[in-house]
Structure 1
Amino acid sequence: MERRYDARHDAVRTPPEPPAEVAHDRLWARDLRSSIRCAAVLLTTLLLIDWGAGTFTPLRGGLWAGLGVLLFLVLYPPRVSVGKGWLASRGLLRKRRVRTDLLVSVRCLDGVSQQLLLRDASGVRVEINPRVLVDNPELWHRLDEDAQKSAVSGSLTCGATALRRVSERIDRETALTVFKVSGLG
């Protein structure tokens, strides 16, 4: 009896390659709950004040609800994830994905809240809060690894100082956490 080759049989025996690991912001859900709470507290406070003053109307209630929704939209945290060669930031309306292995510049933007601006060779820009990297070392590790590849390849022309500052901040926060956990700090 002749045996025929069956590709399905090999596919069952050969384990598939594991997908490339993706690191996500572990504290995103907490930040989302916090923004929902802030909006709910504002809405509740406005409604109670209006009701207590005896000036509540459905129109004013709608206005207060609109203000609560607006505050939620302003506070909505972007969801940051990093994989091999990319970093993505997903907001409510759009998702931006920058190639971290082809970074051209990394800048720190100061303002109301500090932001890290990443730009790749194709011109795509992503802004993230450096606090996300401090709170999630695995995100920082992947970004730093790819940024170093960009620097070695020569594509990263501006940003070594900004990356060094973030790295120093992460090292400082990690050391403080270790001291607190060990009872030394």
Structure 2
Amino acid sequence: MRYGHETQRGVGAPARRSAPPTGDRHWARELHTALRCAAALLGLLLLIDAGTGALTWWRGLLWLTLALLLLGVLCPPRVSAGEGWLASRTPLRRRRVRTDLLVSVRVVDGVSRRLVLRDALGGRIEIDPRILVDNPGLWYHLAEDARTSAARGLLRCGTDALRDLEERVDRETTRTVFRISGLEP
């Protein structure tokens, strides 16, 4: 029996063992950083106002609103993936795409690089490619399902972008292995 496969009872054909859903392992740290930045801004603004004697309840409310807006801007999306899906959740919305039904993958350059995935059901999601590079489990789910989409003939646009991303993930994984093992020059 090969690794990752098991035989179904009564059928005799190998069944693919599904990997458990996985998420961005750095999300909590980034969320704490966003919370600390918002709290530091609020504390600094309140301290300055209190020091000058200009602190009132409405100014305190204004500074709290400003800190919450900063938190909303800095709050990272929570990306997770499982067999056949990839999801991104922010405080205001949740997006999900069927990765086994991908029709398009594009890399959009701008202020920050974004990976745009579209599925056959009309789902669309934008994520930072660094999330996939930093989380091999997320990349594994996406790559396996993208191969399924390509084999079905659905994925017609974006195989080059996926190949480039795969090379980047492999390069970063290799660097990490060398760094952990002490073989990094």
Normalised-by-shorter TM-score class: 0.7 to 0.9
- For each residue in 1:25-84, what CA deviation from the matched residue of structure 2 results, as whole angstroms up to 9, or x when unmatched? 222211111111111111112122222233222211111110100011111121111111
* 1:59 counterpart residue number: 58
CA distance in 2, matches of 1:132, 1:172: 15
Give 5+ residue unaligned stretches, structure 2.
Answer: 1-16
* 2:160 counterpart residue number: 161
- 1:165 Cα deviation after fit: 2.1
* 1:107 counterpart residue number: 106
* 1:131 counterpart residue number: 130
* 1:50 counterpart residue number: 49
- 1:19 Cα deviation after fit: 8.0
**Aligned with 1:163: secondary structure?**
helix
Query: Percent identity over the alignment?
Result: 61
CA distance in 1, matches of 2:103, 2:53: 58
Q: How does 1:74-113 map to 2 (within 5 A)?
A: 74-113=73-112
Report the number of matched residues: 168
State the AA in 2 paired with 1:107: R
State the AA in 1 paired with 2:124: R
Greater mean deviation of Cα atoms: 125-134 or 174-183: 174-183
Report the structure number with the largest CA radius of gyration.
Answer: 1
Contact 2:38–2:70 (CA under 8 A) maintained in structure 1: yes
CA distance in 1, matches of 2:66, 2:159: 41
* 2:68 counterpart residue number: 69
When normalised by structure 1's length, the TM-score is 0.84
Give 5+ residue unaligned stretches, structure 1.
Answer: 1-17
Contact 2:30–2:76 (CA under 8 A) maintained in structure 1: yes
Moved over 3 A (4+): none
CA distance in 2, matches of 1:148, 1:170: 16
State the superposition RMSD in angstroms.
1.7
CA distance in 2, matches of 1:94, 1:19: 27
- 1:20 Cα deviation after fit: 6.2
- 1:110 Cα deviation after fit: 1.9
